[in-house]
Structure 1
């Protein structure tokens, strides 16, 4: 069986296993918060990358649409586990910031890097397909559903006194949107990540792909628990705010590494696929991960997760997605557009450095 697998894939598995083993060793040996924090962050990034690889290999057996659904469900496991354990530890600010950071990290940082690197090689990138523009508009609509509860609370509207009930309603609405998107994907035979995103000379056996996904799911749960345990001590040692840690560090560790495929596609000149991959990563967090986490938080007890976030975070999210929509709606982007998106991400991250 190993003979049918590329050496690069075996190397990814080995590196991921080594990083998880390192994180486990440092956790159980009681190493300091910074080594534990760094090891867990690297392990989570490796797990997210390996989940993406294994899910893509399932496309050889399940078909494009079914693979897209599996990827949407499994690809966000590291972020979901981090958020659940963080809520149980009372780190609500970290959870809010990490989920918003996942959207911003994809929509601004990763997409900006894709435009910069793709534009540097090919000049103006053109993406004439309807999928990127549809995702950008749908992401803007989803973000409106996330921002409005904050406005209701800040403006002292009657709905602001019922933030938990409002959060549940918004979660259900977003899940209905997600269901509609999934139905359209199945009907049209689309998938989350196009087949051209990761072509392999040798397909993994079905049992291996399924086994890797199962092991990654267990590893994601364990490492996420260790990661959250070291989060507060590491934040205190580093002297950064919880919001900055969630917005940048946690978001990148749990999500952005897997979407490096979008940057590679832009470099290869496949702008349609690059924009679709990156925007879909942000969209899945907005319409699937956040609503699921809201409902799960009420079931598990502990600190409930609502959509009433700090106003500056809500404004940053809305303006960022609005800028992304404007940039992508004409189907053209270049290195200047990419630099602008990256610059906006840096400005937002800097604002939250102090809390």
Structure 2
């Protein structure tokens, strides 16, 4: 472990300690929220660093799956505490916002900065294309309960059972995709690791697991503080539930992908960058959202549903379709990144008023 890693861990522990201390006092709600968000981001950075150590000997597909799974850990805790607080609208918006943020904003920034530094970037397109198809299926699955609700079909009175059925199907699909990634067609999921060149000294496996366990525990505490500070800060700043979830919570909860995907693109490791970014969106759609649907019936707070507002569903569709178009040819230029960022800004503006 080098000095930068030690400094990051010390800084994260310090900020988390200050945040925990501040929650005991009646301080400015916005300041407390900023402290909680900073703590969440720093804990996410530590999880990302430890995950990078675990994935250093794996190929792009395996690294993307592992990094995305552990990277979504802080967001899982945030959503659980938010559901217990009755903030189901925030949770829905945050989950769709995470998909939108990864597939449009982070992907766009990675393409932009990677393209400006390295020129046209190339990546194996088979695995991203497979992920895109699965994302389209996830969108279709979530669209069914939404249409059922707004069209007032006979199934509307059984919407909870429909949500559970859809959640179960998506989780099974996710498990199948994992099995395929591990044992499937090597021409799709078995890209060779790139030549990394000289690397910094790796952490030992024991140290990596200790850091992962500690940061996972820290994420649980920090996520609760973040949610407790969220509602008062929203009231003070005049931010509506949908915008708070779609933009604020989604960006803070996905700090790992926000940083790691862009860093990998800057290093001209396009395969790894695309894998991390797209796997994160896929895991949210096929696993995290369905899991939270099922858990919400036992958490004692709001019950989560796949029924989305028409604009949220449209934003989901745009994220899936646009990112699919970009990955299908296996190459990217910086102008595509600018276009994606522009789309994200337009969608965010549409939700600013609710």
Q: Give your verdict on TM over 0.5.
A: yes
Quote the residue 2:36 is aligned against: 40
TM-score (norm 1): 0.91
> Counterparts of 1:205-220 in structure 2 under 5 Å?
205-220=204-219
Deviation at 1:301, TM superposition (A): 3.0
Inter-partner Cα distance in structure 2 for 1:251 and 1:227: 12
| Candidates 55, 78, 82, aligned match of 1:82 | 78
Deviation at 1:191, TM superposition (A): 9.1
Quote the residue 2:153 is aligned against: 157
8 Å Cα contact 2:104/2:341 also seen in 1 = yes
Deviation at 1:289, TM superposition (A): 0.7
8 Å Cα contact 2:95/2:284 also seen in 1 = yes
Deviation at 1:199, TM superposition (A): 7.9
Gap change, CA 1:91 and 1:196, over 3 Å in 2: farther
Gap change, CA 1:199 and 1:208, over 3 Å in 2: farther
Inter-partner Cα distance in structure 2 for 1:319 and 1:66: 27
Inter-partner Cα distance in structure 2 for 1:75 and 1:125: 25
Question: Is the partner of 1:119 in helix, strand or coil?
Answer: helix
Quote the residue 1:250 is aligned against: 249
8 Å Cα contact 1:78/1:221 also seen in 2 = yes
The number of equivalent residue pairs is 350
> Counterparts of 1:1-355 in structure 2 under 5 Å?
5-59=1-55, 71-188=67-184, 200-355=199-354
8 Å Cα contact 1:147/1:318 also seen in 2 = no
Gap change, CA 1:157 and 1:199, over 3 Å in 2: farther
Map Cα deviations across residues 6-32 of structure 1 (whole Å, 9 max, x no partner).
Answer: 112112211211221121121123322
Inter-partner Cα distance in structure 2 for 1:134 and 1:344: 23
Inter-partner Cα distance in structure 2 for 1:345 and 1:243: 15
CA RMSD of aligned residues (A): 2.5
Deviation at 1:159, TM superposition (A): 2.1
8 Å Cα contact 2:60/2:275 also seen in 1 = no
Deviation at 1:73, TM superposition (A): 4.2
Q: Structure 1 stretches of 5 or more lacking a match?
A: none
